[in-house]
Structure 1
Amino acid sequence: MRILHVLDHSLPVHSGYTFRTRAILKAQIGMGWEVAGLTGPRQSLFGDSPAEADGLRFFRTAAVAPVRSPLREWREIAALGRRLDEVIAEWRPDQLHVHSPVLNALAALRVARRHKLPLVYEIRAFWEDAAVGNGTDREGSARYRVTRALETHAARSADAVAVICEGLRGDLVKRGIAADKIMVSPNGVDLHMFGDPPPPDTALAAELGLPTGADAREVVGFIGSYYDYEGLDDLIAAMPALLAARPAAHLLLVGGGPMEAALKAQAAASPAADRITFAGRVPHDQVERYYSLVDILAYPRKAMRLTELVTPLKPLEAMAQRRLVAASDVGGHRELIEDGVTGTLFPPDDPPALAAALAAMFADRAGWPHRRDVARSFVERDRNWSSNVSRYAPLYLKLAGRG
């Protein structure tokens, strides 16, 4: 079977989106299928992109001339549709697998019908909610309602729909999409990339100004993108109370994003300023060194539609690294974390509760080895990409038989 994945962006860009894509394509190749990706015009925002990355083949779409929204989006849809026509004629896929955002689905639907190809639309997050989470729109606006209607139209028009979690599936069913048309392909981890965690990198700890003695170090960490919905302002706000309970505590923030300047200003004004370290963005092949310094990975996402419906990838990677996980009690986290078993859940938007949860975890070091083993076993059993991707096989075969 030859499968063409239609994508917003791909490797060599590093993001949660591209890592999920990489995992899917690699696992499908391992199943004996031929796969390739086609990226949309926005890939060009990240610079020149080769046709091959990490052993994977990608077709590219040329950038469109910059214009204001919404004309820009419609031009992007048209450009991707034309390029998809060309790629289908050249590569002759048996199956189109289109990944969100909805712009990709709108570009591919007509082309798929014209070529009589089955189309699976995979939704990783609703575009309207992602815009609210990124601070570029507000819930209930005219743009929000139009985008929501387009998302519903695309799901209804596709031959099948894949989503990454039960929250998205439930929301689509409420919109009138048939439940038997939707499959759940949850986020997972490529366990070939996560073996035994390395020992703490003491040289890096010294470079960052972290304590190097194991007995003196109590490091809370976040490794990812600095978006408002991640709740990192609550994590910084929790630090004075955490230090009052655990004087050795230190916060390490690795990454960057739209909230970076505001978070640095908040940290500089905090009484805990000398215990908050911003490491900046780091190359992906260096991330494991930073994981090695963190005792507890914290994910204090705020309570909103995006975080209630969508499961993140980072907590699973932390569990695979045998790191302790503390996360806000929102729907996306509850699908991944069993409180007190594979991680700790605390009330969202509540810095004192966050501080208390972290302090309690540091006070229970005797229970850490068991919790790490249980969390790692959960990932191996239920969130391993090699088994997750096998869920697509019966769907593809069903659609091929229908065709």
Structure 2
Amino acid sequence: MVRFGPAPLPSPVPDARGPLRIALFTGNYHHVEDGVSRTLNRLVRYLLAQSHEVLIIGPTVPDPPMEHAGTLVPVPSVSIPTRPEYQFTTGFPSDVKWKVRHWKPDVVHIATPDRLGFAALKWAEREGLPIVSSYHTHFPSYLGYYHAGALEPLLWRLARRFYNRVGEVFVPTPSMADVLREHGITAPIELWPRGVETDRFTPEARSSLWREAKGFSEDEIVITFVSRLVKEKSVDVYADVVNRLRARGLPVRGLVVGSGPEREAMEARAPDAVFTGHLGGEEIAAAYASSDIFLFPSETETFGNVTLEAMASGLPAVCADAVGSSSLVVDGETGFLCPPRDVDAFTNATARLVEDPALRQRLGAAARERALTYDWDAILGRLADRYRAAASGEAR
């Protein structure tokens, strides 16, 4: 497994208004390498570079898959039985409360509404501290993949009980904000989109040597999927689409980047695809740029970091017309949006790009241009402003 190392810190640019102390509570900071953990680590690096202080409170594991930024105070957790790579926090121990209290945070940011999150919420309320939260994982959308749809009303009740007690909720897209409001979240909602390293994820990273090393011929159209390999990412739809395109006689081949509990089943379902496992650094950038189409049928994204990385790499994206992807992909301009789980629609949309190189190039170039508008420093700077507003009592 290739590990993601921390991105270099930007040159320190202290905030002229003085530093803040932010206590960040999260259910995943470094024990699973995914969009949530990478986003929070990037946020912490940015804040530290601006001379703010951050204390992270969350679970840990021996030999975590990524190096973390800042000071992490570990709390007890247990492995989730069906997903042992994930940790579920069991509370907010008194010794950790003492440490956080004496650290004297200016604002509390709770990123996960788990047992730690609820305990931190109750504690911060008692301490009279300003509290903000962020919505990273759309858990209700996962339930159908695990035959647990009956639990959705319960999850939304818990969500209302949690989010309606904080000062602000940060969400990645307007469509996600709409979903929260539709389900009774009445707390003020602020947009916190994600950014992308456009100097790292770029069409210039395309490499014929990389393609050759992975076994792709020059005339094959590489259709790429980048994600953890779990049911809720619609890995079955991806495999079925690639198989149908090959059955039509189209010169396509799948490239799957990532690992997870569904890898074995996915390899059996798409035996001709190339599976790389986790990639990091220059190799993940080369994987995107050396591909031709990004196919990501997941309907459970709150944003879609991998979609934005693919767009920055100059790939047209074929994604589910659902929360997250629908805020990134402009249908017919930077890629195509398809009804979730509609294998026929995904197959036909992808086939259009396979069969029309000019269309593929035009949409890919437009995708790159759209990705250039997602600047990390500007995005994280706006979030730091929301922290300051919360700490000063100016948040709406």
Q: Report the TM-score, using the length of structure 1 for normalisation.
A: 0.81
Query: Match for residue 270 of structure 1?
Result: none
Aligned pair 1:38/2:56, yes or no?
Answer: yes
Query: Match for residue 305 of structure 2?
Result: 313
Give the 3 Å change call, closer, same or farther, for CA 114–190 of structure 1 in structure 2: farther
Displacement after TM superposition at 1:120 (Å):
0.4
Displacement after TM superposition at 1:393 (Å):
3.8
Q: Deviations over 1:143-193 (max 9, x none)?
A: x444332221111111221122223322332344336x1112123223354
Conserved? CA contact 2:112–2:135, under 8 Å: yes
Conserved? CA contact 1:7–1:99, under 8 Å: yes
Query: Match for residue 14 of structure 2?
Result: none
Give the 3 Å change call, closer, same or farther, for CA 199–262 of structure 1 in structure 2: closer
Query: Match for residue 140 of structure 1?
Result: 150
Query: Match for residue 300 of structure 1?
Result: 297
Query: Match for residue 197 of structure 1?
Result: 204
Give the 3 Å change call, closer, same or farther, for CA 199–311 of structure 1 in structure 2: closer
Corresponding residue to 2:72 among 53, 59, 83: 59
Give the 3 Å change call, closer, same or farther, for CA 147–326 of structure 1 in structure 2: closer
Gaps of 5+ in 2: 1-19
Conserved? CA contact 2:75–2:89, under 8 Å: no
Conserved? CA contact 2:354–2:360, under 8 Å: no
SS at match of 1:252: strand
Q: Give the structure with the higher percent helix.
A: 1
CA distance in 2, matches of 1:199, 1:159: 45
Query: Match for residue 22 of structure 2?
Result: 3
CA distance in 1, matches of 2:81, 2:45: 37
Report the identity percentage.
22
Query: Match for residue 158 of structure 1?
Result: 166
Name which of structure 1's ranges 322-331 and 336-345 shifts more when overlaid on structure 2.
322-331
Aligned pair 1:125/2:137, yes or no?
Answer: yes
Q: Deviations over 1:325-366 (max 9, x none)?
A: 111222332111111112122333232332221221122222
Give the 3 Å change call, closer, same or farther, for CA 265–195 of structure 1 in structure 2: closer
Corresponding residue to 2:266 among 258, 263, 271: 263
Conserved? CA contact 1:5–1:35, under 8 Å: no
Q: Deviations over 1:195-214 (max 9, x none)?
A: 55313242x43343221x2x
Displacement after TM superposition at 1:12 (Å):
7.2
CA distance in 2, matches of 1:313, 1:396: 23
Which structure 2 residues correspond to residues 4-403 of structure 1 after superposition, within 5 A? Answer: 4-11=23-30, 13-30=32-49, 32-41=50-59, 43-44=60-61, 47-48=62-63, 53=67, 56-64=69-77, 76-78=89-91, 80=92, 82=94, 84-130=96-142, 132=143, 135=146, 138-141=148-151, 144-178=152-186, 181-195=188-202, 197-202=204-209, 204-211=210-217, 213=218, 216-245=219-248, 247-267=250-270, 273=271, 275-283=272-280, 286-302=283-299, 306=300, 310-381=302-373, 383-402=374-393
Q: Deviations over 1:245-268 (max 9, x none)?
A: 45321111121222222222223x
Query: Match for residue 4 of structure 2?
Result: none
CA distance in 1, matches of 2:57, 2:141: 22
Q: Which amino acid aligns with 1:243?
A: R
CA distance in 2, matches of 1:150, 1:243: 45
Q: Which amino acid aligns with 2:389?
A: K
Root mean square deviation, CA, Å: 3.0
SS at match of 2:333: coil
Displacement after TM superposition at 1:85 (Å):
1.7
SS at match of 1:60: strand
Conserved? CA contact 1:100–1:123, under 8 Å: yes
Displacement after TM superposition at 1:7 (Å):
1.6
Number of positions where the alignment pairs a residue of Structure 1 with one of Structure 2 = 371
CA distance in 2, matches of 1:386, 1:133: 36
CA distance in 2, matches of 1:281, 1:115: 42
Conserved? CA contact 1:246–1:359, under 8 Å: no
CA distance in 2, matches of 1:350, 1:66: 34
Conserved? CA contact 1:194–1:321, under 8 Å: yes
Give the 3 Å change call, closer, same or farther, for CA 208–105 of structure 1 in structure 2: same
Give the 3 Å change call, closer, same or farther, for CA 25–62 of structure 1 in structure 2: closer
Gaps of 5+ in 1: 268-272
